[in-house]
C-alpha cells in the first residue's frame, strides 16, 4: 500500500490515492475486508445474519438512489422484493412452467422487478409526494394479498420453495459469498452513480427542482431510469431472499420489512451511500443483540426514525462528516476573478437577440403582463425594474418557460421558445438564477456548481453505473469547469464545503457559478443583489459587466436602483404589466413618471 500523504482537503482531484478520494473509499474497503474475512471469525449463526444483511443491502442500495438521492418516499418497496422472490421461486421450482436454471430465474426476477419498478414509480412523475408514498404502500399490501390468494401459482399460505443455487453457492458460506459479491457490486455501482452527473441531478430534483429544470434536467426521464435500476436490484434481492429463506410464504413480506429498508436509508442519511449501508447493517443486526428486541424491532426502528427526523435529519452520514465540522473562516470575502471568464466561456457565442413580442399573460383576470415587447441584445446588461406586481418576475418566468403567455411569443435569434418546456432552456443556453437561491444544501459547493453542467455530459446512466471511460471523462470535464466557475465568482476555497454552511450572499454567487456552467448565451438574474452588502453588490456588478463583455446577454431584475443605473446598458421600466419607459440609465433617471412610479414601491 502506498503511504497516505497528509494534505489539506483541497478541492478533491481524481487521483485515487489523493487524500480526498482515499478517505472517501476507506470505510468501504474496511467493510469489504471484514466481509471477506467474516467466515474466519464468526460462527454459523452470524453467517445467516450476514447473508440477510447482504440481501437487504442489495435492495436498499437501489432504493437509496430513489429515497436518499431523489427524495421519493417509496415506503412499500418490499413489494418488489416479494415479486422477485416469487418470480425466481416459481420459475426455478417449475410449478407453473418447466423449471429453469436458478441463475436464469434470478435474472428474470431482476427483469420483472425493473418493469414493476417503473409501474409503481409512474405516480411519482405526476403526483405529490404523499400520494406516491401511499400508492407504494397500497401496492405492497396488494402484492402480499395476491401471493396469499393466487394459490395455484404461489402456493398461497403454504408457500413455495425458494431456488437452490448450484455448487459452490449451495453451502452456507458459499451462498454468503454469492450474496456478498452482488452486494459489493451494487455498492460500487451506486457509488458510481452517486458521484456522477446523474446522482447530482437526483439530489437537485429532490432539493431544488426548479433549479434542476433550469439546468436542463428532465425529471421524468431520470426518475424512470432510476426506477428501472432500483426495481431490478430489488427483484434480484427478492430472488436471493427466497434462496436465503429456502421456503417463502406471504407473511415473510410484511410492511415492517419494507419499513426496515426505508428507515435504514434515512437513518443512514440522505445523499450518502456509506450512511445507508451502515444503517441497513445496523437495523439487521440490532434485533439479534437482545432477544426482546426481535418482537419490538419495528417499534424500535420507528422510534429511531422519529428521532432522526426531529433531532438529526442528516443521519449517520452527518455524524461521520468530520470534514464539515471544522469551522469555516468567519470573515471571508467573495473576490470574483472575472479575468478567468474567457477560459470558461470560450469564444463569443452568437445566438442572436432574445426578444419578447407582444406578450400578455393574466392570472384570474389580473393582467400580470399586458402586451410587452422586449429585446435583449447579446453582450448587454438589460435592467428590468418596476414596483411590486409590475410583472418583472413574470416576464422572467415567461422567458424561462414557467408560464405560457396567452398572447405573443418569446424568441431566441428568431426561433420561438417553446412555452412551458422549462428544461429546454438549458439546451438553448439560457441560464438563470432565483430570487431565493435554489441549491442542494447537503451537497458540496462544487457539486452544486457541477449540476449546472449536467447537459454537457456525454455518457449514459449505464456507463456511469459501471464507470466506463466516457463517464470518467465527463466527470473530469465537469469538475474542471466547475472549479473554474467557482474561481470566477471567487468561491474556489469553499468548493468542498457543504453548501448549507455558506452565508446567504455566497449562495447567490454559487448560483451564478452554476449558471455559468451552461456557457450561457443569455443569463437571467432574479434579484441577485437582495441581501448583499454594499461592497458585495459592487463586486457583483463588476462581475456581471464582465460576463456581458464575453458576449452573454444579461437580463437583470433588480430593486437596487444603484446597481441598475451603475451597470445596465438598457433599462426597461414596468408598471402594471406594461412598459412605462425604456432607454439608457441616464434617460430613465430623468424620466419624471418613472421616478414617481419607481419611488412608490
Closest CB 149 distance from other proteins, rounded Å: 4
Which residues lie near other proteins (CB under 8 A)? 71, 73, 75, 122-123, 126-127, 129-131, 133-135, 137-139, 141-142, 145-146, 149-150, 207, 255-256, 259, 266, 295-296, 298-299, 301-303, 305-306, 309-310, 313, 366, 385-389, 503-504, 507, 527, 530-531, 534, 559-562, 565-566, 585-586, 589, 595-596, 598-601
Residue with cell 459469498: 177
Beta strands 247-248; 160-161: pairing state: antiparallel
If the CB atoms of residues 382 and 479 are measured against other proteins, the closer one turns out to be 382
Beta carbons within 8 Å of 325's beta carbon, 6+ residues apart: none
In angstroms, give the least distance from the CB of 490 to other proteins: 19
Q: Nearest approach, Cβ of 32 to other proteins (angstroms)?
A: 31
CB of 69 to other proteins, least distance (A): 14
Assigned C-alpha cell, 142: 396488494
Nearer to other proteins, 236 or 260 (CB): 260
**Considering the complex, what minimum distance in angstroms separates the CB of residue 66 from other proteins?**
13
- Closer CB to other proteins, residue 519 or residue 560? 560
350/596 with CB nearer other proteins: 596
Residue 382 near residue 557, CB atoms below 8 Å: no
Between 251 and 373, name the residue whose CB sits nearer to other proteins. 251
> 127 or 404, CB closer to other proteins?
127
Q: Which is nearer to other proteins, 143 or 179 (CB)?
A: 143
Cβ 499 to other proteins shortest distance, Å: 12
Task: Provide the strand spans (E) within 438-540.
Answer: 522-526
- Cβ-Cβ contacts under 8 Å for 54 (sequence gap 6 or more): 35, 176, 179, 180, 182, 183, 240
CB-count exposure of residue 470 (10 Å: 0-12, 13-18, 19+): middle
Distance of CA 555 to the CA centre of its chain: 28
**Least Cβ distance, residue 135 to other proteins (angstroms):** 6
* Residue whose C-alpha is closest to residue 96's, from 159, 154, 147, 163: 154
Residue 16's φ and ψ, nearest 5 degrees, are: -65, -45
Kindly provide the b/e burial profile for residues 502-534, where b requires at least 16 CB atoms within 10 angstroms of the residue's own CB: beebbbbbbbbbbbbbbbbbbbbbbbbbbebee
Nearest residue to 578 (alpha-carbon basis) of 384, 406, 419: 384
179 vs 567, which CB is nearer to other proteins? 567
- Supply the minimum distance, in Å, between the C-beta of residue 19 and other proteins: 31
Secondary structure of residue 488 in the 3-state scheme: helix
Amino acid at each position: 500500500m502506498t503511504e497516505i500523504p497528509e494534505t489539506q482537503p483541497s478541492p478533491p482531484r481524481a487521483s485515487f490515492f489523493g487524500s480526498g478520494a482515499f478517505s472517501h473509499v476507506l470505510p468501504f474497503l474496511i467493510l469489504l475486508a471484514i466481509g471477506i474475512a467474516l467466515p474466519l471469525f464468526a460462527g454459523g449463526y452470524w453467517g445467516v445474519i450476514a447473508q440477510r444483511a447482504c440481501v437487504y443491502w442489495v435492495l436498499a442500495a437501489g432504493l437509496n438512489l430513489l429515497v436518499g438521492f431523489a427524495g421519493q418516499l417509496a415506503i412499500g418497496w418490499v413489494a418488489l422484493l416479494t415479486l422477485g422472490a416469487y418470480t425466481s421461486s416459481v420459475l426455478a421450482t417449475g410449478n407453473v412452467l418447466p423449471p429453469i436454471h436458478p441463475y436464469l430465474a434470478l435474472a428474470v426476477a431482476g427483469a420483472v422487478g425493473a418493469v414493476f419498478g417503473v409501474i409503481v414509480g409512474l405516480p411519482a412523475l405526476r403526483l405529490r409526494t404523499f400520494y406516491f408514498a401511499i400508492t407504494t404502500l397500497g401496492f405492497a399490501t396488494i402484492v402480499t394479498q395476491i401471493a396469499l390468494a393466487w394459490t395455484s401459482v404461489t402456493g398461497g399460505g403454504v408457500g413455495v420453495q425458494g431456488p437452490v443455487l448450484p455448487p459452490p453457492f449451495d453451502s452456507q458460506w458459499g451462498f454468503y459469498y454469492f450474496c456478498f459479491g452482488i452486494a459489493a457490486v451494487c455498492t460500487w455501482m451506486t457509488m458510481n452513480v452517486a458521484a456522477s452527473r446523474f446522482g447530482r441531478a437526483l439530489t437537485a430534483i429532490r432539493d431544488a427542482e426548479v433549479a434542476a429544470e433550469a439546468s436542463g434536467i428532465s425529471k421524468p426521464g431520470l426518475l424512470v431510469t432510476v426506477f428501472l435500476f432500483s426495481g431490478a436490484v430489488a427483484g434480484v434481492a427478492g430472488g436471493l431472499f427466497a434462496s436465503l429463506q429456502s421456503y417463502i410464504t406471504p407473511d415473510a413480506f410484511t410492511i415492517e420489512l419494507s419499513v426496515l429498508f426505508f428507515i435504514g436509508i434515512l437513518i443512514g442519511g440522505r445523499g450518502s451511500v456509506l450512511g445507508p449501508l451502515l444503517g441497513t447493517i445496523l437495523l439487521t443486526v440490532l434485533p439479534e443483540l437482545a432477544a426482546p428486541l426481535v418482537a419490538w424491532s419495528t417499534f424500535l426502528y420507528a422510534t429511531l426514525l422519529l428521532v432522526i427526523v426531529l433531532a438529526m435529519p442528516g443521519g449517520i452520514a452527518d455524524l461521520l462528516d468530520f470534514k464539515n465540522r471544522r469551522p469555516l473562516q468567519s470573515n471571508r470575502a467573495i473576490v470574483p476573478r472575472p479575468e478567468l471568464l474567457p477560459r470558461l466561456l470560450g469564444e463569443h457565442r452568437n445566438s442572436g437577440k432574445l426578444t419578447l413580442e407582444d406578450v400578455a399573460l393574466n392570472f384570474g383576470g389580473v393582467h400580470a403582463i399586458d402586451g410587452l415587447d422586449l429585446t435583449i441584445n447579446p453582450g448587454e446588461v438589460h435592467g428590468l425594474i418596476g414596483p411590486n406586481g409590475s410583472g418583472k418576475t413574470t416576464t422572467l418566468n415567461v422567458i424561462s418557460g414557467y408560464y405560457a403567455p396567452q398572447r405573443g411569443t418569446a424568441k431566441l435569434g428568431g426561433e420561438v421558445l417553446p412555452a412551458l418546456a422549462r428544461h429546454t432552456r438549458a439546451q438553448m443556453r439560457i441560464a438563470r438564477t432565483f430570487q431565493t437561491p435554489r441549491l442542494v444544501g447537503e451537497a458540496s459547493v462544487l457539486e452544486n456548481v457541477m449540476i449546472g453542467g449536467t447537459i454537457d455530459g456525454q455518457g449514459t446512466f449505464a456507463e456511469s453505473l459501471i464507470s466506463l471511460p466516457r463517464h470518467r471523462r465527463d466527470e473530469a470535464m465537469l469538475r474542471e469547469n466547475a472549479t473554474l466557475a467557482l474561481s470566477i465568482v471567487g468561491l474556489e476555497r469553499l468548493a468542498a464545503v457543504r453548501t448549507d454552511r455558506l452565508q446567504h450572499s455566497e449562495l447567490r454567487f454559487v448560483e451564478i457559478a452554476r449558471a455559468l456552467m451552461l456557457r450561457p448565451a443569455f443569463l437571467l438574474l432574479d434579484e441577485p443583489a437582495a441581501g448583499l452588502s454594499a461592497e458585495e453588490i459592487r463586486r457583483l456588478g463588476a462581475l456581471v459587466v464582465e460576463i456581458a463583455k464575453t458576449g452573454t446577454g444579461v437580463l437583470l431584475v433588480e430593486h437596487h436602483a444603484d446597481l441598475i443605473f451603475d451597470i445596465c446598458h438598457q433599462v426597461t421600466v414596468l408598471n402594471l404589466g406594461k412598459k412605462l419607459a425604456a432607454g439608457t440609465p441616464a434617460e430613465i433617471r430623468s424620466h419624471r413618471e418613472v421616478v414617481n412610479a419607481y419611488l412608490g414601491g
